[in-house]
Structure 1
Amino acid sequence: MDNSVFDKARKWICYNARPIDRARFRYLFENGSREAVLAALIEYQNDDGGFGHALEADSFNPFSSPIQTWAATEILHEICLEENHPITRGILRYLESGKDFNGKCWLNTVPSNNDYPHASWWMYDNQSYDTITYNPTAALAGFALSFAGKGSNIYKKCYDIVKEAIVYLKEADQCDEMHILACYVRMTQYCRKAGLADELSIDEVEKILQQKVNKILTWNRDTWSDSYVCKPSHFFMDKECFLYHSFGELADYECNFIKNKQNTDGTWSINWQWEEYLEQWHIAENWWKAHLIIMNLRFLQGLSEEARVKVSETGKE
């Protein structure tokens, strides 16, 4: 990766990012410690084990919600946490509690979101409770299968949820949406980690996902600069993902796109915004810029020929 891309991004992170994103950046690119990430992350965890407090920056709700908790699991996946940890045990406790669960799925949005600044897509309405969506349920259930004991109630519950999610993927057109499909991709990774690939026919699931991702990727590259589009980085960060073999050429194009679209201050522009709470949106936008820097650098790192970013004499590969 071009060192100038990294250097500009690093400077912005150092002066502007939240502690959680500075810790993630240092862990991923500068040989920082996993413990620093966990120490910053636990500040967002509530007593019930779930996460809130705008960890996912489009909702300022301090109370736990499935989406905010999913955001925490994504960070745990990012730092390759595998051991039994208090944060993980808390998440499993939240998922097992039945809170924010409608009998089929964890809610995509929760009532308390409405009491705090948020993006319009996190508004809770009368239809929200009964909506069947596997964003973030598929990823949360997969997380539980990966971390919970096989004899536990939450493992059994999430095993059934994953089986239902797979049936839904095969039968429902509502799954043709990039955030839902990204949760399914993560679910397959967790299932493989849990040793359930054969038992749950994950090879077949991945073939279905490949077809659905092919359908919703934004192949018209002219729209990438000024629209919220579906790109390969929504689904994978490296060449090891099963999707890379089908979409490697577009992923390589995205790498060049990322390099060419970096702003002079080291950030990349956020191509969405809130319709209300504009004062808080300016804060959230800055948080998203930090997250996007991390995701873009991870993508460049994972897709580069040498699969590394050289950041310093002590930088990690």
Structure 2
Amino acid sequence: MDIFGAGRDFVRREARLLESRVFAAVFEGADSGGVVDALRGYQNADGGFGHGLEPDKRCPDSLPLDVQVAFETLLTAGARDEEMIRRAVDWLQSIATPDGAVPLCGPAVEGYPRAEHISEWTYEPSLNPTAGLVGQLYQFGFEHPWRDKAAAWCAAELAKGFPEDAHGMHVSMEFLEHTDGVDLDQVRDWLPKLNWYRADAADPTYGVTPLHFAPTPDSFWRPLFDDAQIEAHLDRLIADQQPDGGWALTWEPPSQTATLEYRGRVTIAALRTLKAYNRL
């Protein structure tokens, strides 16, 4: 199978408009302004993002998880819109705790179809997604009072200890790479203790892999993993491409539409990583 060609055809055939614009910007040199235009439909009047931008819940209300996906999409495509970002961060500030922390979701999701894991635990302000959002704003170089307050909260929380799950650790590492004095050995030693960390490339179950932490060879966290680990997971990533050209999910979204939307996202991520490691 032509890995790239089959993945491209899957995105063109099955993905939503947003991911099609991202693909064109990332792989075909298209104007990244098209990604901004596609994102506008997901931004609410209050400045936050919703409408199932993150496909695992079909809630139109603004949610921090959807803001996180909006920022990730802009960064992936090399796109930027100052007003779009500012409005989103103003909204985050409006719903944050006094210390600056925000939750992934909120009770509004209960009125709409959602994946089983989108439940009450996502209503609690936590490092996931606060640390990831702050890290994304550092990547943008976007200054804001909420960013600074939330960064101080994240630093204080991480000083107490690392998260116990791989998702929380992943977003915490997005924050930590923009701070001083990161202890790589401490992080490396902690990874095997994480829930949902999938170190073994032969393990077909759901989890966060070394390629999520180091999606490109020049990733800040690439030194955490030896070459054999990375190569094994790249081999697995290639093997996991489906006959239709896309990559499958290891969890259950709430609908067929949501499944295809998420498959479009993970297919682009897989192709980006394989390209970055010269495996296409």
Quick one: which amino acid aligns to residue 174 of structure 2?
R
Distance change >3 Å, CA 44–CA 208, structure 1 → 2: farther
The residue number in structure 2 matching 1:252 is 231
Given candidates 237, 259, 263, the residue that maps to 1:285 is: 259
1-side partners of 2:135 and 2:245: how far apart?
Answer: 35
Q: How does 1:238-277 map to 2 (within 5 A)?
A: 238-247=216-225, 248-274=227-253
Quick one: which amino acid aligns to residue 233 of structure 2?
E
The residue number in structure 1 matching 2:182 is 204
Q: Does 1:62 align with 2:60?
A: yes
Given candidates 161, 168, 173, the residue that maps to 1:185 is: 173
2-side partners of 1:29 and 1:128: how far apart?
Answer: 34
Structure-2-length-normalised TM-score: 0.89
Distance change >3 Å, CA 205–CA 69, structure 1 → 2: farther
Deviation sequence 1:53-99 (CA, Å, 0-9, x none): 11100010001000111110111221234x55221122122123x22
Distance change >3 Å, CA 33–CA 253, structure 1 → 2: same
Distance change >3 Å, CA 206–CA 95, structure 1 → 2: farther
The residue number in structure 1 matching 2:133 is 140
Matched residue pairs, number? 275
Deviation sequence 1:241-280 (CA, Å, 0-9, x none): 1221221432221111111221111012211115xxxxx5
Q: Indicate the SS of the match to 2:207.
A: coil
Q: CA RMSD in A?
A: 2.3
The residue number in structure 2 matching 1:107 is 103
Distance change >3 Å, CA 209–CA 163, structure 1 → 2: farther
Q: Indicate the SS of the match to 1:120.
A: coil
2-side partners of 1:62 and 1:204: how far apart?
Answer: 38
Note the residue ranges of structure 2 that are not aligned, 5 or more in a row.
none
Q: How does 1:50-199 map to 2 (within 5 A)?
A: 50-81=48-79, 85-96=82-93, 98-99=94-95, 101-104=96-99, 105-124=101-120, 129=123, 131-145=124-138, 146-149=140-143, 154-155=144-145, 157-172=146-161, 175-189=163-177, 191=178, 197=179
Deviation sequence 1:39-63 (CA, Å, 0-9, x none): 1111111111110011100010001
2-side partners of 1:72 and 1:38: how far apart?
Answer: 9
Structure-1-length-normalised TM-score: 0.79
1-side partners of 2:240 and 2:137: how far apart?
Answer: 37
Point out the structure with max Rg over C-alpha. 1
Following superposition, the deviation at residue 164 of structure 1 comes to: 2.6
2:43–2:50 Cα contact (<8 Å) kept: yes
Note the residue ranges of structure 1 that are not aligned, 5 or more in a row.
192-196, 275-279, 310-317
Q: Indicate the SS of the match to 1:136.
A: helix
Deviation sequence 1:173-230 (CA, Å, 0-9, x none): 5x021211221222235x3xxxxx4xxx2x326554343335434233332x2x1022
Quick one: which amino acid aligns to residue 90 of structure 1?
R
1-side partners of 2:208 and 2:30: how far apart?
Answer: 31
2-side partners of 1:23 and 1:110: how far apart?
Answer: 29
